[in-house]
A and B are shown apart, each in its own frame.
Chain A
């Protein structure tokens, strides 16, 4: 199944446009859709920006379902109301982000954009989550995944000088920070409840992921000579900057955070798979 940006012809569509796309629910900047001029950007930069936005759209769209399962499981196990409440906001943020990315991808490509349904991809998180799986989900998808996403998308924003690209990344990052913190606060609530075996299980999940991260995120989108500055202006992250961002966020945030929760991530980080 292919996913396209489709709206109804009902008042819901106008509400969606007005409340979700102009300015996010949080303190966001308005999106200057009319400012984008395709003909000012070289083809290679547009191609990379298109690819980045298409993949971002897919990731954000997939996150709608992922976080919905997280919310359902939190409510089922009687998690604290503030955690459930914060989690319910995430799927709405994610569909808004997907919409922003679909739109920008379409503007870069000058044509409609479609992505494969996330359901086509293999995933550990397709079924109802148990309490144990909730912990793993919070570690992998939220605390580590969203913190990485925050750092990487922030770097995209920092390099973006095109007003539309910058506004889109600014809006998305403003929400992703809250999503990542939800994961960390969930873990802070859960950590005192873990038995030694629980803690070991969670540490093993986190450690296995931590060991892969440098290698797994070691390749950015590199523009050919002559298009590098333009690609960066559209928010494209090259290999050199991506590696630096990943290293910094791991060393300064993710590994210390996991260590503080007793998950021994610094041991895994020391033994990580390194880029050759």
Chain B
């Protein structure tokens, strides 16, 4: 059964065209400088580190159900007879 794919991000958003900046982590990944400009912004980066995004960030439903850390448990579930459902 193949369902029609719903477009989630509203077209109103996709058609917006705000002057852009470049995330610091992207600059750092290519050895860039501390100035982030994309299309005319004069934003100056004040040294926010790429790892400012901490490992404890909890992304709600997506992270809880599909994050690799959550999914890793399922292999355990398959192996752990005490936790796996009976029969079937």
Residues of A at under 8 Å CB distance from B? 38-48, 50-52, 55-56, 58-60, 62-63, 66, 97, 108-111, 118, 121-125, 140-141, 144-154, 157-158, 160-161, 166, 173, 176-177, 180-181, 184-185, 187-188, 191-192, 196-197, 199-201, 203-212, 215-221, 224, 237, 242, 249, 253-254, 256-257, 259-265, 267-268, 270-271
Contacts and interface: CB of A to CB of B under 8 A. Distances in A.
Given A144-B59, A145-B60, A197 B8 contact: no
Given A59-B63, A124-B54, A51 B74 contact: yes
Contacts of B62: 59, 145-146, 148-149, 152, 217
Given A47-B85, A197-B43, A59 B53 contact: no
Given A217-B67, A264-B23, A188 B16 contact: yes
A200 B57 contact: no
Main secondary structure of the interface of A (DSSP, over half): helix
Given A59-B62, A125-B58, A196-B43, A263 B23 contact: yes
Which interface class (under 10, 10 to 19, 20 to 34, 35 or more) fits B? 35 or more
A121 B88 contact: no
B10 A185 contact: yes
Given A63-B61, A66-B58, A111-B85, 12 more contacts: A41-B88, A51-B74, A56-B64, A59-B60, A109-B86, A118-B58, A147-B9, A177-B8, A208-B50, A216-B68, A260-B16, A262-B41
A184 B78 CA distance: 38
A203 B23 contact: yes
B16 to A, nearest CB: 4
B10 A184 contact: yes
